[in-house]
Chains A and B, each alone.
Chain A
Amino acid sequence: MSTLILLTATGLGLAALYFLVASGLSLIFGLMDVLNFAHGAFVAVGGYAAWTVADHVAGTLGLALALPVAVAAGAALAALTELLIIRPLYARPLDQVLATVGLGLAIPALLQAVWGADPRTWTLPAWLAGTLDVLGARIPTVRFVLIAAALALLGALQLLLTRTRAGLIVRAGVENREMVAALGVDVHRAFTGVFALGGAAAGLAGLLDGLYQGSISPGDGTSLLIFAFVVVVLGRMGSLTGTAVAAAAVGLVQQFANYLSADLGDESVVILLAAVLLLRRRDLKGRPA
């Protein structure tokens, strides 16, 4: 029983991370049709920004300061990416994606240049470093923080999308960008906004990934990105709840498979993806006209 709970908590913790990364990717893809390969770099930048703050200011205060810094760093980088890289290539969709591939290579390398290739250790405040007892299972507190953060983000995004004008524009833009523009809405600003929002979530993911692993290294974001892609594809690109469900599924499947056999976890995700894609072939080719 306690193993089951532990596995579930670990799986959901991982799922939370996936969701933080994938939600931004999914929003960007849904609205702009851009598959953003630089998203992992946003995660890494957020992570390093947070780590730097916490390195200077110890304890809970450092963490409290690191949070807005990580979010802001991710958002700023993403907004800049949209303005400087994505927007000028608007008429060249493939090149947009290729440019993000270039960024995805360059930014982690830059991080490595500044902070070195070796992992930097996070020192967690005492209250975070411990474990919580749930029905006999000792679960690291950080996982609850992760899950809480993901749920908070899900809730916030859901509110943003359903209750605000900005959300209205995004939801409408996913359906028909031209018509949104024809109603007098500046779609490009919405694009930048969504990119920044995704970047903010990625920055948060960078911070939390550091807490989860206890350390950060330049390539962390990129390895998260691959699973986030899987989640986005499984969650039917552009759908927030779909992304959340897919993230939970991937995290849980991975952990439970890992428990069965040490190497099976990641492979099981691949098998899951292949299976679902094959069953759902039609959707990916686009809805019928």
Chain B
Amino acid sequence: MNHVRSLMRPAGRRAAAVLLAAAALYAVPYSTLRLPGVFDGPLDSPGVLQLLAVCLLFAGLALSYDLLFGHTGIMSFGHGLFVTGGMYVTTILVNHAGYGLVPAALAGLGVGLAAALVLGSVALRVDGIGFAMVTLAFGQAVSLLVVSGSPALTGGEQGQTLNAGAVPAALSGVRNTANLYWLALGYLAVCAAVLWWLTTSVPGRVMRAVKENERRVEVLGLNPYLFKLLAFVVAGLLATGGGVVYLLLLGGATPVVAGSDFTLGLLVMVVLGGAGRRWGVVAGAVLYAYADQSLTRLSGSASVAALPGALRGPLQQPLFLLGVCFVAVVFFLPGGLATLPARLRASKTRVGHGVRTRNGRRAQRAGSRHSGLSADASATQPRSPIRRSAPQAGPNVLPGHNAASSTGAAEEGVTPHG
């Protein structure tokens, strides 16, 4: 029944949901609602707004990363360098060259665009693991440049506070946190819009196809390289913009964004939420950013301090908890949070009918594209971006997985384990 309903669902309902969510998010700074246990103060307090703003920013960044990973199937470990670029170019131009904020930010975007074009056209010439490594190395190079390259310009390990004079009054000071919140919301909206716009366009379709079966795209007469480059440049540009927004949220540039952990964090957000699933990615990013921020705060709180040492230590490390949660999600929730509704529905069906057959699940997948895409891992990973061959098929392999891997191997003509 489910699939029938989802097929019939009017497109308007989706749009309405988006509008409703946007309106609710827009109204947050006007609300004095308290959510004890979730936030320390009312929603309109600067602390909460700042936290939410960071969450929204990360949601936008994660969407930009998902354009690469979830949508085009390329795994970049250098996404943070664009955030770094936007942040540092703007800061340096403002602080050291006396630019206004807007021209500096525009110049930052220009640099980001150029960097994306150059790095993309170089890195995309290699596939899979090579691409991952090249981008990782590029990211590392930028990181080193920022931390130890020229401390006078970048502030080294400490980062650098943005010259207060250049920041418009509306975006500075604790009282104006609401404006920063809206800025972050605006950034998320831009990312979501660009992603929606791009993914529904012709090249967006081709990107999705490249993820699914690159060789087939080639045989359709299209050059996958160009479409991957397009995705890389758009994602890079969005991330550069995110760097500028982050700079304003923090009031300064920090080398944290240049570290490999930062990009890995984006990857974690996307996988946590569900690669290629917009709502999932936003949810994953918000959850990650919220956990990252509030766990740090929680660790200082009295209740944690009272715990015995063996427990207290790990709980004070957000990355530890996030890492463990991430492994758990990879294990038990392949496809990420976005598959939860479908899973819950499926388990309800199981309670109703006693047994959930594999065929039943497949039928459901066939009906509803959206719940279907990541109903199991095979759908979310039609080809592995960083392996050189399909795995040896063991007796425990689900047919679905095997389908994905064996075609991959056959088409790439790489079957060292055949």
Residues of A within 8 A of B (CB): 33, 35, 37, 85, 88-95, 97-99, 101-110, 112-114, 175-178, 181, 222, 226, 229-230, 233, 237, 262-263, 266-267, 269-270, 273-274, 277-278, 281, 284-289
CB distance from A195 to the nearest CB of B (A): 16
**In the complex, are the beta carbons of A287 and B405 less than 8 A apart?**
no
Q: Are A90 and B394 in contact (CB under 8 A)?
A: yes
CB distance from A71 to the nearest CB of B (A): 24
Q: Is B109 an interface residue (CB 8 A)?
A: no
Contact B134–A273 (Cβ < 8 Å): yes
| Chain A residues closer than 8 Å to B321, beta-carbon distance | 106
| 22 chain-A/chain-B pairs, Cβ below 8 angstroms | A37-B264, A91-B391, A91-B398, A94-B385, A95-B377, A99-B330, A101-B268, A102-B268, A105-B319, A106-B319, A109-B318, A109-B320, A110-B314, A177-B392, A178-B392, A230-B137, A263-B150, A270-B141, A274-B122, A281-B126, A285-B414, A286-B412
Q: Is the CB of A287 within 8 A of B381?
A: no
Are A91 and B127 in contact, with the CB atoms below 8 A? no
Is the CB of B253 closer than 8 A to any CB of chain A? Answer: no
B327–A113 touching, CB < 8 Å: no
Nearest-neighbor residue (CB-CB) of A222 within chain B: B260
Find out whether the CB atom of B414 lies under 8 angstroms from the CB atom of A99.
Answer: no
Q: Which residue of A lies closest to B139 (CB)?
A: A226
Question: How many pairs of residues, A versus B, come closer than 8 Å at their CB atoms?
Answer: 189
Contacts of B144 in A (CB 8 A): 263, 266-267
Partner of B387, one of A93, A112, A114: A93
Given the interface contacts A94-B384, A99-B327, A284-B126, does A105 sit within 8 Å of B417 by beta carbon? no
Fill in one digit per residue for B120-137: 1 if any A CB lies within 8 Å of its CB, else 0: 001101111110111011
Contact B122 A278 (CB under 8 A): yes
Chain B neighbourhood of A181, CB < 8 A = 392
Q: State whether the Cβ of B316 lies closer than 8 Å to any Cβ in chain A.
A: yes
Tell me the minimal C-beta distance from B264 to chain A in angstroms.
6
Of chain B, the residue at the smallest CB distance from A288 is: B413
Smallest beta-carbon distance A272→chain B, Å: 9
Known: A101-B268, A274-B122. A106 touches B392 (CB 8 A): no
Q: Which residues of A contact B128 (CB under 8 A)?
A: 284-285
Chain A residues with CB below 8 A from B130, complex form? 233, 277, 284
Q: What 1/0 flags go to B243-286 for Cβ under 8 Å of A?
A: 00000000000000000110011011001000000000000000
User: What are the residues of chain B within 8 A of A269 when measuring CB–CB?
Assistant: 137
Report which residue of A103, A177, A181, A277 has the largest number of chain B beta carbons within 10 angstroms of its beta carbon.
A277
Indicate if B149 sits at the interface (CB-CB under 8 A): yes
Instruction: Give complex CA distance A184, B127 in Å.
Output: 35
Q: Does B140 contact A (CB under 8 A)?
A: yes
Please give, as numbers and ranges, the residues of chain A lying within 8 Å of B271 by CB-CB distance: 98
Contact check, A92 vs B127: say whether CB atoms are below 8 A apart.
Answer: no
- Whether B327 lies near A103 (C-beta < 8 A) is yes
B301 in contact (CB, < 8 A): no
- The distance in angstroms between the C-alpha atoms of A226 and B416, with both chains bound, is 27
Whether the pair A266, B268 counts as a contact (CB closer than 8 A) is no
Contact A278 B331 (CB under 8 A): no
* Smallest CB gap from A187: residue in B: B392
A191 to nearest B CB, angstroms? 11
On whether the beta carbons of B381 and A226 are closer than 8 Å, the reply is no
Q: Is B173 an interface residue (CB 8 A)?
A: no
* B73 → chain A closest CB, angstroms: 10
A15 to B364, CA, bound (A): 54
- Please tell me if the beta carbons of A101 and B401 are within 8 angstroms of each other in the complex: no
The answer to whether B387 touches A33 (Cβ under 8 A) is yes
B126, B128, B401: most-surrounded residue (chain A CB, <10 A): B126
Q: What 9 A-B pairs come out closest when comparing CB atoms?
A: A106-B323, A286-B414, A113-B313, A109-B320, A289-B413, A109-B319, A105-B323, A102-B326, A102-B327
Please give, as numbers and ranges, the residues of chain A lying within 8 Å of B149 by CB-CB distance: 263
Across the two chains, which residue of chain B brings its CB closest to A32? Answer: B391
Contact B141 A267 (CB under 8 A): yes
> For the complex, what is the distance from the CA of A90 to the CA of B397, rounded to whole Å?
9
